[in-house]
Structure 1
Amino acid sequence: MRLLGMTLPLLVVLSLLNGCAEKEKFIVYGSPQNESEVETLIKEEDYVDRSTVIQYDDSMLIAVQIKPWEKWKKTKLEKKLQKKFEEKYPNKEVFVSADYKIFYEANKIKKDQMEDNKLSDKITELKELAKEET
C-alpha cells in the first residue's frame, strides 16, 4: 500500500510533464528564403498558439490557431496579422486565416510534401475554402 502511495503521485507528475511537452508550433513550408524572419514575426504576436506558413512563388498562406481566450476576436486578430505581413512583404500575395480547417489542410500539405505544380492549385483551393461561408 505504501508503494502505491509513493508511485501514484510520481505517475501523475510524469503524465503532466509529458502533456506539456513542446510540440512544433511554427512551421514554414516552401521556399526557405525568409523562414526565420516569418517565424519571428509570428512569435511576436502572443495570441498565436500555432501556425503553418506555406510560401510558394509570390504567395504566402499563413494558417494560425488563436489561443482559446482570444478566439472571440478571431476576425480582428486575423486582420491585424494580415496587415502586418502585407506591410512586411508588399511584393507577395499574403493570405492569413485563423480557421481550423485551413490550418488542418495547410499541415496536410506539409505532411504530404506536395509537388510545386499541385501546390499552387491547393493554395488557391484553400483560399476559396476560407472565403466560403458556413
Structure 2
Amino acid sequence: MRLLRMSLPLLVVLSLLNGCAEKEKFIVYGSLQNESEVEALIKEEDYVDRSTVIQYDDSMLVAVQIKPWEKWKKTKLEKKLQKKFDEKYPNKEVFVSADYKIFYEANKIKKDQIEDNKLSDKITELKELAKEET
C-alpha cells in the first residue's frame, strides 16, 4: 500500500510530461529539394499549427492545420499561404489546403510510404476531395 502511495504521484507526473511532448509539426515527404525553404516559409506564418508537405515532380501539396483561434479565417489564411507559395515557386504547381481531411490523408500517404508512380494519382485524388463540398 505504501509503495502504491509513493508511485502514484510519479505515474501522474510522467503521464503529464508524456502528454506535453511536442509532436512533429513539419513533415516533408517525397523530393526533399527546397525542404529548408519550404519549412521557413511555413514557419513565418504564426497561424499554422502543423503542416505536411508532399513534393513530387513539379508539384507540391501543402496541407496545414490552422491554430484553433484562427479557424474562423481559414479560407482567407489558406489563400494567403497559396499566394505566398505561388510567388516563391512560380514554376511549380502548388496546392495549399487547410482542410483537416486533406491533412489527415497527406499524413497517411507519408505513413504508408506510397511509391512515386502511385503518388501522383493519390495527390490528384486528394485535390478532387478538397474541391468537394461537404
Q: Does TM-score exceed 0.5, indicating one fold?
A: yes
Distance across 2 between alignment mates of 1:69 and 1:111: 28
Query: Deviation at 1:22?
Result: 1.3
Distance across 2 between alignment mates of 1:3 and 1:37: 53
Query: Deviation at 1:3?
Result: 7.3
Any unmatched runs of 5+ in structure 2? Answer: none
When structure 1 is superposed on structure 2, of 8-17 and 100-109 the one drifting more is: 8-17
Distance across 1 between alignment mates of 2:97 and 2:20: 26
Query: Deviation at 1:23?
Result: 1.1
SS at match of 1:39: helix
Figure out how many residues of one structure are paired with residues of the other and give that number.
134
Q: 1:38-117 counterparts in 2 under 5 A?
A: 38-117=38-117
Query: Deviation at 1:15?
Result: 2.2
Q: CA RMSD in A?
A: 1.6
When structure 1 is superposed on structure 2, of 23-32 and 3-12 the one drifting more is: 3-12
Query: Deviation at 1:11?
Result: 3.7
Distance across 1 between alignment mates of 2:2 and 2:83: 60
TM-superposition CA deviations, 1:73-124 (whole Å, max 9, x none)? 1101100110111110000001000111101110111111111111111111
- Scaled by the length of structure 1, what TM-score is found? 0.91
Distance across 2 between alignment mates of 1:73 and 1:92: 26
Distance across 1 between alignment mates of 2:29 and 2:20: 25
- Scaled by the length of structure 2, what TM-score is found? 0.91
SS at match of 1:32: coil
SS at match of 2:34: helix
When structure 1 is superposed on structure 2, of 90-99 and 14-23 the one drifting more is: 14-23
